[in-house]
Each structure stands twice: as structure tokens, then as C-alpha cells.
Amino acid sequence: MGLRHLILLLLAGFCGVVVEGKFEVQCYLPGWTLNNGMYNPFKVADINPYGPCDIIVYAFFNVNQTRISPPDGNKYRGHFAQLYSLKEINPELKLVLSVGGWNNSDEFVAMAKNGASRSLFAASIVADLRKWSFDGVDIDWEYPEPENAQDYLSLLQDLKAAIVADAERTKRPRLILTAAVGNTVRPGYKAAEMAKYLDCINVMTYDYHGMWGAELLKTGSNAGFPDVEKSMLDWIAAGVPRESLSMGLAFYGRTWTLSTPEVENRTERVGNSALGVGTGGFLTHENGTLSYGEICSGLKAGWTRKMDPVTHTPYAFFGNQWVSYDDSQSLEKKVQWAQNNRLQGVFIWHIGSDDLQGYCGPKFPLLKSVSEILGRPNVIPTLPPKPVAPPYVKPVAPVVASASAKTGLSQLQLFMVPSLIVIPFFLKL
């Protein structure tokens, strides 16, 4: 029996590296967030290494034939150095590298179609993860078509085989293998079989409504609870064990420009008619999307917040601008559902969309809300000082003392504030 066949037989015994009973929080951290300019700087050191993030998922590396490559030259080296510093403080923190993403998923198709290229790809990823001291890889193929279903499954199978072989050979802890999947069980997914090879399946339970197709002309909930619940139950019904699933939490909102801005002629509820996407924010500059930092800044500047009783998510509006988003209240309902339904955990897309600068109060309000919901501390615990060994004195004179130590609308108009109120925001990154 060859090594490959032996590995594949052993796979059923390696269904995951999940700690039984532990509810895990994965936090996606896009590299572009760390490239922010001086007006919205974000350093990894701003993250509490003790929680709530059990795993930080650095996104994204590109698929480049049979290898992976960074999208921004050598900037990743500085990002990795920051992540290493965080892990030095808390060695239990896991680092995972996400490959693919919305802008780089087409490259999976050609690579996954050929068995030899899949094997080379898997081997190179394992080697890179070990070289960079990462704990695992996340495959974010958005999205495999029906004709790609078997190739996608074979890719996961080959990755798992390479990971198991590496652990057997090196006697090191086995690398983590996860995948981000859509909020519907598409024909391109062989869901039950995928679960045999993945330690966790991250279901992207957001973007149910937004800047595409007919959705442009009617406001909707970005991540309404009924939609989220249905997605998770559909993946369970498709044969994925619930303890292999993680629910996505959106730290951003989807926006629309209302067709009837006059308050007396419209309702601001979910489902109101719209002209199209909303105006980009003063930090992200992306039409149709606002980060939570931009949303809470709008609320502070005079936007009106309401809670939709059907979707159990908040929305806010001012003038003709309207946004659907999540806050601590809606996140609590989702996290508690995930816990009560014995999911492996939740993941956050993405922590760079939180209020990084403390525009609305303490920094990272949503991240801290997740900590509070889970009953985890929001502060770094005080560690006892490392013991210092007494200096060694050679019991023979003379003693030479020596010591060594190893020691669209303008960005401001987005908020539609009355003209007498001045909001001191920087408008350009």
C-alpha cells in the first residue's frame, strides 16, 4: 500500500482539529486594512491577543498557477511580523492564511482541473505555511460552478492529504484546513463530502441584499436573521455536521439611495424603493458599502436608527441615504443561536471594518461586543514577570563579572448633517 493510499484511509480519523466544547471565533484580517493611510491607521498590535479572536485569518493570497503569491509585493512581510508579535504574547492564538477571495477565484479553475497541478499546489502551500509559521490555510473559492464541483472536492482532498503527510513526517501539530463558502448550498459544492476534509466550513451569512441586479431598486437587510438561520440549516441539511460549521458576522453594512427622500412621502423600513446604491463613506470610499466605523459615525452625527422586527437587524437613514447593518444587539442574537445550535463557532468579516479609531467611543466596539456576548475578558490579563535566574559566580578567584541578557456625494455629504454642524472627518485616505 502506497503512502498516499494510507493517508487517504487515515483521513476519516482526522475530521478536524476542533477542541470539543470550545466555541471558536475566527477573525478575518485583510492585508489592505493594514495598508490604510494616516487617516485610518490600523496596526495588528491594536488587537487584544487574548480574545475574542481564537484564530486570525490573514486575507488574501492569490492563486498563481501551482503556487500562492501575495497581492501587494512584500508588504505581507511586515504584516506577518506584526502577527508574530501578537502570537508571542498569546501562543495559543492561531494564524491562518486565506487564499483566493472574490477577485482571485477564477484562478482556482485551471489549477484544480489537473491532478498534478493540484498536488504541486498542495505541497507548495504546506511548505509556505511551515516557512511562515502559520497554523493553517483557508480556501476561499467564490464560487465553484457545477462543472467544478469534483475538482473543488479533489483539491480539498489533496490539500488534506498533504497536510496529514506533513504532520506524520515532521511530528508537528497538523495544519488547519478551512473553506469559506456561499450562503446557499450551490451545485458546485458536494457539501457532505467536503466536510470529510475540512476542519471548519465558514458560511458567508451576509450579502443577502445589496448592489446587484434587482436588489439595487429596493432596500434590504444585509444579514437578516431569518436568512442567516436558513443558510445554516440548509448546510446542516446538506450533510455537514453542525460542529463543522461557522456562522459569518458582518462588521459592515449595505447602503442604498432612496427614491423618495422627502420624509413625508416615504417609509424608511426594509423594502423601501431605491434609486441604487448609497454613497461611499469617508473611510472606505466604496459606493454601496459602509464600515461599522462609518455607520456609527453617521449615527453620532444625526442619522436615525431603527430595528427591523422581521429581520432582527438595525437600519439607519438620513436624507436619501439608507444602510442595513449589524450592531451589538443583532450580533448577540446570532452568536447565541450559533451556540445553542452547537456550531463550531462564528467568524468575523472583517475586523478592519470595526470602529478602529474610536470615533464613537472605545475602539473596536463590535469586537468587544462579541467578547461580552461570549463572556470573555476585554482586557489583556496581567502576566506574572518571568523569573530571573540569579547570576552565576564561579567559585574560583579571580572572578570576572560578565553578564548577558536575552532580553458620488461628497464624503461629508454622506452623513447629511445640518449645515451648522461641523464634523471634523478627514475625507480622503
Predicted TM-score (pTM) of this structure? 0.84
Question: What pLDDT is recorded for position 118?
Answer: 98
d(CA 95, CA 54): 9
Yes or no: say if 249 and 335 are a contact pair by the CB < 8 Å rule. yes
d(CA 330, CA 353): 17
pLDDT of 66 over the 90 cut: yes
Using alpha carbons, select from 335, 367, 370, 372 the residue that is nearest to residue 354. Answer: 367
* Percent of the chain residues past pLDDT 70, beyond the cut: 81
Position 421 confidence tier, pLDDT thresholds 50, 70, 90: very low
Instruction: Encode pLDDT of 28-55 as tens digits.
Output: 999 999 987 777 788 888 899 998 999 9
Number of domains in the chain: 1
pLDDT of 250 over the 70 cut: yes
CATH label of the domain that carries residue 242: 3.20.20.80
Residue 333 falls inside a structural domain:
yes
Instruction: Encode pLDDT of 107-126 as tens digits.
Output: 999 999 999 999 999 999 99
Question: What pLDDT is recorded for position 213?
Answer: 80
d(CA 206, CA 228): 7
Domain with 105, as residue range(s), is 7-13+20-251+326-383
d(CA 177, CA 165): 14
Question: What pLDDT is recorded for position 41?
Answer: 83
List the catalytic residues: 142
Residue 424 falls inside a structural domain:
no
Question: What pLDDT is recorded for position 267?
Answer: 62
Q: Which residues of 352-372 are buried (b: 16+ CB within 10 A; e: fewer)?
A: bbbbbeebbeebbbbbbbbbe
Instruction: Encode pLDDT of 322-378 as tens digits.
Output: 999 999 999 999 999 999 999 999 999 999 999 999 999 999 999 999 999 999 754
Residue 429 falls inside a structural domain:
no
d(CA 159, CA 88): 28
Residue 403 falls inside a structural domain:
no
